[in-house]
Amino acid sequence: MIQNPVLPGFNPDASIVRVGEDYYVATSTFEWFPGVQIYHSKDLANWRLIPHALQRRSQLDLLGSPSSGGVWAPAISYDNGLYYLIYTDVKARKGVYKDLRNYLVTSESMEGPWSEPVFLNGSGFDPYLFHEDDGTKWLLNMQWDFRDGHNRFAGIVMQQYDPEQQKLVGPVRSLYKGTSLGVTEGPQLFKRNGFYYLLVAEGGTGANHAATLARSERLEGPYETDPEYPVLTTRESASYPLQNAGHGMVVETQIGQWYMCHICSRPFAGTKLNPLGRETSLQRCEWTEDGWLRLAHGGRLPALEAPLPDLPIHAWPELAEKDDFDEETLALHYQTLRVPADGSWLSLSERPGYLRLYGRESLHSWFRQSMVARRLQHVRCTVETSLEFAPEHFMQMAGLVFYYDESDYYYLRVTRDERRGLVLGLSCSVGGKYSEHKESELDVDGWPAYFLRADVRGRSLRFLASPDGAQWTEVGGERDIGTLSDEYGGKLGFTGAMIGLCAQDINGTSKHADFDYLTYRIVQD
């Protein structure tokens, strides 16, 4: 069986494509660099991360992008020996306007390198590129309408893309306005048995999320809605383990079986809080005699386990618990915040076996932070690192952070107090309110190194510190990791909790910090 979610932790808006015997999924990365996570599978159950698509600032400039802005809903496709990736880069997301740009890059391999981007349009997010049998190509996206008295989600529109001119040409056509569920977005267009099928996300990314199917005998429509819509949703099952199910895309296996990948989340019981963020699950699907798609297990709820396709099992090596930073480059599962990992602020060679970070801006900056992070993927785990750092001022800090955005984080850090000397303590931001837990700060003058640990046990998050990695002292008391969630405080973000190693030097003198390793260990019940 396929165990859902197949891509745990912050992996939303999955787009899927099959080329021969290989399956690829691309997910949104928002303000984290490099952009667009890509996974590879041969059996739909086992997935490995391959290089991100957008590796260069010329492809993706996130400097100053708002939290939960940046890369939204990438879509991958393949035609005639070439892979296509289109993505939205969002520069403003709050208020009535959505300042965004949709781009296209191509590659002969899903592992890259990918081309320089081609600008497409800025009319709305969630683009999708459809390759017609006659060779024409069509861009779909939702239309954003900011005007008073208009539906902000104004439906799905389509325009032809000319690859020779590398631009959109011809009229913009309105394809589909959606259903009573509203918030119509996330289109995928595909053909089967003489019909064009349009699969869309509806209901918003929260509790009312859904996937709805429509079809037409003509590309330009009109599109008829599935009379039993939606295909997939958890909107009427608030206690179901997988919530917020929607934004689906389908793929047909090489032996004719159909699967849908989709967004889901796993909130803590009785809450909407989901620090793992929006994740990706897979569902086996079947077609009815009259040509509508249904979940193979019946109903509309996503299955916790889905039948495997009739394909050979193909497992990949598991990610090691401990990263000793012995390689020349960062491992693929790390990302940096808005900026590329370059030698101006990060080095794996200046002190071999250590990750050296040069302190820059604060945890509240949308510009030049020095942070290397990985996804939180389990709510029972232990994270540990060892830090060497000699701050000279209270504006120099380094340590271990559990980070959602500048409004919500927990930061176990070393700094210097002008009266006490070196101190190790917990600073927090919860709902935008900053605090420091002075009563639990440790005086750490004379410590040879700073071993930092975090224990996640459900909603409980506890931080500990040690001079030797053997004798541990708790710092900051028990914290609620639920605050590192999309919907905490009503902020409606789109990412998930990240575990970061970071350094700040707000004075601008680039004080460095050395991290010896990072361990991420899953704790079994």
Q: Return d(Cα 56, Cα 490) in angstroms, integer.
A: 34
Q: How many CA atoms lie within 13 A of 267 on its CB side?
A: 20
What are residue 58's phi and psi, to 5 degrees? -65, -25
Cβ neighbour number for residue 23 with a 10 Å cutoff: 24
Give, rounded to a whole angstrom, the gap between the first and last alpha carbons of the chain.
21
- Determine if the peptide bond prior to 340 is cis (ω within 30°): no
Q: Return d(Cα 132, Cα 139) in angstroms, integer.
A: 11
Nearest Cα residue to 7 out of 64, 49, 43: 49
Nearest Cα residue to 179 out of 246, 115, 240, 237: 246
Nearest Cα residue to 386 out of 333, 334, 323: 323
Task: State the pairing for strand pair 421-430/408-417.
Answer: antiparallel
Q: Which long-range contacts (CB under 8 A, 24 or more apart) does 202-206 make?
A: 202/178, 202/230, 202/246, 203/230, 203/233, 203/235, 203/246, 205/12, 205/244, 205/246, 205/247, 205/263, 205/278, 205/486, 205/494, 206/244, 206/272, 206/487, 206/492
Q: Tokens 């208009």 — which residue?
A: 150
Q: Return d(Cα 384, Cα 451) in angstroms, integer.
A: 7
Strand-pair partners of 195: 192
What are residue 438's phi and psi, to 5 degrees? -60, -35
Residues 6+ apart with CB under 8 A from 286: 258, 293, 294, 295, 296
Residues 6+ apart with CB under 8 A from 461: 402, 410, 454, 455, 478, 479, 480, 481
Collapse the DSSP code of 438 into the 3-class scheme (helix H, G, I; strand E, B; otherwise coil) and give the result.
helix
Q: Tokens 């393949």 — which residue?
A: 78
Q: Which two tokens stand for residue 145?
A: 């309408």
Task: State the pairing for strand pair 15-19/22-27.
Answer: antiparallel
Are the C-beta atoms of 140 and 184 separated by less than 8 Å? no
Three state DSSP letters for 34-62: CECEEEEECCCCCCEEECCCECCCCCCCC
Are the C-beta atoms of 280 and 26 separated by less than 8 Å? no
- What residues are labeled active site? 13, 185
Query: What is the side-by-side order of every strand in the sheet holding 153-162?
Result: 128-131, 137-144, 153-162, 167-176
